[in-house]
Each structure stands twice: as C-alpha cells, then as structure tokens.
C-alpha cells in the first residue's frame, strides 16, 4: 500500500534527517498532481505527500505560532487547486472565522462555522450526508467509495478543535460540545470509507482536547512544536514533538514511521493569487 511519497524518489528509511537539511520553502502549485488526492505536506529530501485515499483522516497539533494554521491553509489550497470540481469542504474555524471565513464564497466551500453552535449545525449536516451515503452504498452493495465511480470527496476541516471539548467549555455550552463530540466520532469512525475526510487540529494538546473516537480512528498525525512530552503523546502517541527546534513550519509527520519535515509557507494573498490564476485559465479554456 502506498502510505506516503517523496517524489520523484520514494524514501523508505525510518530515520529522520538532521535538522540542517530542512530549509524553509514557499508553497507552489508546481508540486500539485491534478485530480489526485496526493497532497504536499512538507519537504524532507524532496517534497513529501500524504495520500488521503489511503489514510482519509488526519490529526494535527502544535503550539500557537509554529505553523499549524498555515499548514491547514496549505492543505486547503492544495485540495481546491488540484481538485476544483471534485472537492467539497466544510470548515469549522473556531477562531471566530478569522482564518477561513473569507473563503466561504468559494464554490468548493459549503459552510464555514465560527462558533460552537454553528459547528454543531455543520456537523449535523455532515452526519446526515454520511448516513444518506451509507444507505445508497447498502442499496448498491458497495463496501467502500473505492468500489464506486464517485469522484467527489468531502473534507471536514476543524481548526481549534479543543473548543469543542465538553470539559473545556462553559456549563451552558456543554450539551453542544457533547453533541459535537458524538458527530466527530462518527465521522472519523464510518466516514472514511464513504468518501468523507476529517482533518482535526488543535493547539491545546491535552487528552480532553481530542475526542477518543476521533483519535482511535486516525492513523496520520502531524505535530508541530509542543511544550512537553504529555502533549506530544496526545498527538503522536509518543514523545518527540517537544524536541523539535522552535522553527515555524517544522513538524513531525507520522504514519507507521516518524518523519521530520519542513511544511510549506503560504499566505492568504498567495492563495488568492493561485485561485485567480486558476480562474483565468478556466476562463481562457472556455
């Protein structure tokens, strides 16, 4: 099974490269593969890719200012630019919509929730879609989306996921947080095979911040700098993230093995430019 790629050469070793080999780099569309779910996540010797078809969900953690949200935006840009007619995005931006709210008008973005209550409404919508998809699969005898000719994939991106924890919200909001946890757990548990992909990110790497059902059903982990071993174990199930150099974009990507990578730098202005160029090309083609 193809777990991860470093293109054009596949690197099979488990050892992490010395930090001096990792250099900062800017995101660019030349690293994309059109109509593919191979998404560039960082550089080791060459660009490293995550395959969302083989590992549909991803858990992301890291202390503020070390690149977590920038990383999410690079994933967001890659998904839209490589699959403009195939990706559907639901985004929970619990920074009050400040990071992703401006993208809500894009045709690929179905909804941006910016608080706990709207997040529950969004997750309820997604859960209903999952159950409807499950019913269609049952009728046709499908076991997995790979058995079908369905090309669209639905991504649910959660930034600041700790804001959905019942133990970290006020008493008045606890019932909404509990409902959100149930929905997130079901999305992680049954969504993958039905074409739904959960990307759950938190800057508070405490056990209470990551729903148990979510963590149990996510193999792919990305951790930026974290303060201590306890936080590292929440995201990676082992120590290591606390030992990362305090460099923005430096992260550990883990499937079966750990890989220290440098994630690409991207800004909202860059994303806007790439989207504008894509629209221009589409207009010229018409």
Q: Domain 54-274 class?
A: alpha beta
Residue list, annotated binding site: 62-69
Contact 62, 203 (CB under 8 A): yes
Residue list, annotated binding site for ATP: 62-69
The closest of 260, 253, 213, 261 to 236, measured between CA atoms, is 253
Q: What is the mean pLDDT of each run of 10 residues along the chain (286 residues)?
A: 45 40 89 97 94 98 94 98 98 97 97 98 98 98 96 98 92 95 98 99 87 95 95 95 95 95 98 92 70
Give per-residue burial for 203-215: e unless 16+ CB within 10 Å, then b: bbbeeebbbebbb
Is the C-alpha dihedral spanning 80, 266, 273, 157 positive or negative?
A: positive
Structure tokens at 99: 């990071």
Complete DSSP assignment for 73-141: HHHHHHHHHH-TTTEEEEEEETTTTTTTGGGTTSTTEEEEE-SHHHHHHHHHHHHHHHHHHHHHHHHHT
pLDDT at 21: 66
Q: How many angstroms separate the CA atoms of 161 and 140, rounded? A: 35
- Helical H segments across the chain, by residue range: 68-82, 116-140, 174-190, 212-216, 229-236, 268-285
Q: Is 245 exposed, middle or buried (0-12, 13-18, 19+ CB in 10 A)?
A: exposed
The closest of 95, 58, 18, 66 to 227, measured between CA atoms, is 66
- C-alpha distances out from residue 90 to 24, 117, 124, Å: 29, 15, 11
pLDDT at 225: 96
- C-alpha distances out from residue 98 to 16, 102, 160, 198, 264, Å: 35, 8, 12, 20, 21
Question: What strands lie across the sheet with 87-93, from one edge to the other?
Answer: 4-7, 47-51, 38-43, 258-262, 250-254, 220-224, 58-61, 196-202, 153-159, 87-93, 109-113
Contact 100, 159 (CB under 8 A): yes
Is the C-alpha dihedral spanning 217, 220, 224, 229 positive or negative?
A: positive
β-sheet bridge partners, residue 88: 154
pLDDT at 45: 85
Contact 159, 95 (CB under 8 A): yes
In the three-class reduction of DSSP (H, G, I as helix; E, B as strand; rest coil), residue 268 is classed as helix
Contact 101, 114 (CB under 8 A): yes
Q: Where are the domains of the chain?
A: 54-274
Q: How many angstroms separate the CA atoms of 100 and 188, rounded? A: 22
């Amino acid at each position: 099974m193809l777990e991860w790629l470093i293109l054009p050469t596949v690197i099979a070793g488990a050892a992490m490269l010395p930090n001096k080999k990792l250099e900062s780099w800017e995101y660019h569309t030349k690293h994309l593969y059109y109509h593919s779910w191979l998404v560039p996540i960082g550089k080791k010797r060459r660009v490293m890719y995550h395959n969302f078809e083989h590992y549909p969900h991803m858990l992301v953690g890291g202390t503020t200012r070390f690149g977590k949200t920038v990383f999410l935006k690079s994933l967001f840009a890659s998904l839209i630019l490589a699959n403009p007619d195939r990706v559907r995005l639901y985004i929970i931006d619990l920074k009050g919509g400040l990071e992703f709210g401006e993208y809500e008008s894009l045709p690929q973005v179905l909804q941006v929730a910016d608080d706990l209550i709207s997040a529950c409404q969004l997750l309820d919508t997604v859960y209903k879609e999952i159950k409807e998809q499950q019913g269609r699969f049952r009728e046709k005898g499908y076991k997995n989306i790979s058995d079908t000719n369905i090309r669209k994939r639905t991504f649910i991106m959660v930034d600041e996921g700790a804001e959905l924890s019942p133990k970290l919200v006020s008493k008045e909001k606890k019932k909404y947080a509990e409902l959100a946890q149930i929905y997130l757990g079901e999305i992680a548990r049954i969504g993958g095979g039905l074409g739904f992909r959960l990307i759950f990110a938190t800057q508070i790497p405490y056990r209470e911040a990551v729903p148990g059902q979510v963590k149990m059903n996510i193999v792919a982990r990305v951790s930026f700098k974290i303060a201590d071993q306890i936080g590292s174990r929440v995201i990676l199930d082992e120590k290591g993230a606390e030992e990362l150099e305090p460099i923005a974009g430096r992260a550990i990507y883990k499937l079966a093995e750990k890989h220290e990578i440098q994630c690409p730098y991207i800004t909202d202005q860059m994303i806007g430019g790439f989207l504008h160029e894509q629209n221009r090309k589409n207009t010229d083609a018409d």
